[in-house]
C-alpha cells in the first residue's frame, strides 16, 4: 500500500502534464502564421510547465505537492472563469485536486512511518 501511495500522485502528475501538452496542440488547428502558432503553443504549454515544476518539488516533499496541486486546482477555474464550460474546467481541476489528495495521503503515511520508527528505536 505504501508504494501505491508513494507513486500514484507522481504518476498522476506526469499524466496531467501529458494531458495538458496534448491539449496545447490544438493551436495547430487554427491555421495561423508560423510565429503566431509558435507563440500560441508556448502560451498553451505554460500550464504544463507549472505542473512539472510543482511536481519536481512535490517529488521530494509531498506536503508541498498537497498545497501546490490544491492551489493549481483552485487557480485554474479562477483564471478560466466564464471562458470554459464547467465540465472542461472540472476535467482539468479534478485530477489536480486528486493529485493534491494523493500527495496528502503520501505525506501522512510517510509521517506515520517515521513516527513509528522513532518510537521503535527510541530516537
Q: Residue 115: its pLDDT value, please?
A: 65
What DSSP state is assigned to residue 119? H
Q: Residue 112: its pLDDT value, please?
A: 77
Q: Residue 1: its pLDDT value, please?
A: 74
**How far does CA 36 lie from the centroid of its chain?**
28
Nearest to 55 by CA among 9, 24, 89: 9
In the Cβ-directed half-sphere of 40, how many Cα atoms lie within 13 Å? Answer: 15
What Å distances lie between residue 106 and 55, 67, 98, 102, CA to CA?
14, 13, 12, 6
Per the listing, cell 505537492 goes with 65
User: Three-state SS for 30?
Assistant: helix
Domain holding 61, by residue range, is 2-121
Tens place of pLDDT for every residue, the chain, 123 residues? 778 889 999 999 999 999 999 999 999 988 889 999 999 999 999 999 999 999 999 999 999 999 999 999 999 999 988 888 889 899 999 999 999 999 999 999 988 766 666 667 766
**Angle at which helices 86-121 and 62-79 cross, to 10°:** 170
Q: Residue 123: its pLDDT value, please?
A: 62
> Which residues, other chains included, contact 105 with Cβ-Cβ below 8 Å and sequence gap of 6+?
5, 9
Helical segments of 1-123, H only? 2-24, 34-60, 62-79, 86-121
Look at the chain and report how many structural domains it folds into: 1
Amino acid at each position: 500500500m505504501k508504494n501505491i501511495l508513494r507513486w500514484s500522485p507522481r504518476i498522476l502528475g506526469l499524466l496531467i502534464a501529458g494531458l495538458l501538452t496534448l491539449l496545447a496542440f490544438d493551436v495547430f488547428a487554427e491555421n495561423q502564421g508560423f510565429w503566431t502558432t509558435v507563440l500560441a503553443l508556448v502560451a498553451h504549454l505554460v500550464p504544463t510547465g507549472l505542473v512539472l515544476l510543482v511536481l519536481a518539488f512535490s517529488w521530494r516533499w509531498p506536503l508541498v505537492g498537497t498545497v501546490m496541486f490544491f492551489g493549481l486546482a483552485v487557480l485554474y477555474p479562477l483564471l478560466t472563469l466564464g471562458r470554459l464550460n464547467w465540465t472542461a474546467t472540472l476535467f482539468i481541476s479534478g485530477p489536480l485536486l486528486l493529485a493534491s489528495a494523493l500527495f496528502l495521503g503520501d505525506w501522512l503515511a510517510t509521517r506515520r512511518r517515521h513516527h513509528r520508527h522513532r518510537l521503535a528505536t527510541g530516537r
